[in-house]
Amino acid sequence: MMSTPPLSPREPQRSPEFWFSDGSIVIIVEDTAFRIHKSILSQHSDVFADLFQVPQPPTGIESMDGVEIARLSDNLSDFTDVMRSLYEPFHFDKLSADADLATLIQFVSGILRISTKYNILPLRTKCINVLRTKFPSSLAACDQLLSSGYKYVASTIVRAIPLARETNIPEILPWAFYISTNISNDALLEDPVLSWKDKAICLVGKNQLWEMQKSVTHKFLFEFTKAQTCQYSCQSRLPPLMSWRRTEELRCSPHPLNQFEDWESLKVCVKCLDQTQVQHQRGREKVWKMLPTIFQLGTWEDIHKEQNR
């Protein structure tokens, strides 16, 4: 019925949480046996449903307490998390609404891996929705997250990248890469989680984001152009906002999607201010649209097709 990993020399131990007297299948993961219900697994997973329908030979079936055994080569912790999600209706309610990213990733990682592998769509969808709270896939969601003032931890954000690749959630990758470009070059190169390819993508993306910040979203801070209807020759009145130190800080940690707010500091007329604000917002929209391309992910449309296939 299922591919059988090599038999363990140890006798499987019954799961203290998931050994039901009326269970119709014993699934062994590592050295732990789960006596659970085919009907529950089949209801949520077409992969398990198909596997359980495969005819079995009349003899030679491995059993435990008279119940058929199937062995899976999955991680015990991951599989246990999925069982909790299936058998405990309020399992996801254990995740606090204000949980930090490290807690979110730890909570959903195992469930994501198993639900993706066995096509348990309800659980996979729940996990993706949890991650969306910290990985926006629209500019509106991005603005909402930025306005909340949420702070990312470098050692945590990079964990999202291999998880997204492993479980086919490219939707969270553009923002994960975007935030990762704020990690210092030395820290990126030494990071034990990211692949060398993803490290290179981050480093190249960092340079592209900086160029777009200078020339697209925040150009007015580096090269101000007055409006044709300017009333007071504002270009000559623009204060020197960008010291070389501030410029270097932005180059090392580019953030072209950052919403500029200190408009009064520009000291320009209403006409120039209106033009600059419009250009700033259009620039942010352009950067957001290009974000997947910057990190070699195609377009947003490509991402959604890949994730939903």
pTM (predicted TM-score): 0.89
Burial of 240 (0-12, 13-18, 19+ CB in 10 A): exposed
Burial 44-59 (b: 16+ CB within 10 A, else e): bbeebbebbeeeeeee
How many Cβ atoms sit within 10 Å of the Cβ of residue 7? 10
Q: Going residue by residue through the chain, which has 309 residues, state the pLDDT in tens, using 9 for 90 and above.
A: 444 454 445 689 999 999 999 999 999 999 999 999 999 999 999 999 998 887 766 666 788 888 999 999 999 999 999 999 999 999 999 999 889 999 999 999 999 999 999 999 999 999 999 999 999 999 999 999 999 988 898 889 999 999 999 999 999 999 999 999 999 999 999 999 999 999 999 999 999 999 999 999 999 988 888 999 998 888 766 666 667 777 888 888 999 999 999 998 888 999 999 999 999 999 999 999 999 999 999 999 999 999 987
Distance of CA 144 to CAs 150, 186, 211, Å? Answer: 10, 31, 25
pLDDT tens-digit series, residues 193-231: 999 999 999 999 999 999 999 999 999 988 888 999 998
Please report how many Cα atoms fall inside a 13 Å half-sphere around the Cα of residue 120, on the Cβ side: 24
Delimit the domains of the chain by residue range: 13-75, 137-161+170-304
Question: Residues 142, 126: contact at Cβ < 8 Å?
Answer: no
Question: Residues 282, 276: contact at Cβ < 8 Å?
Answer: no
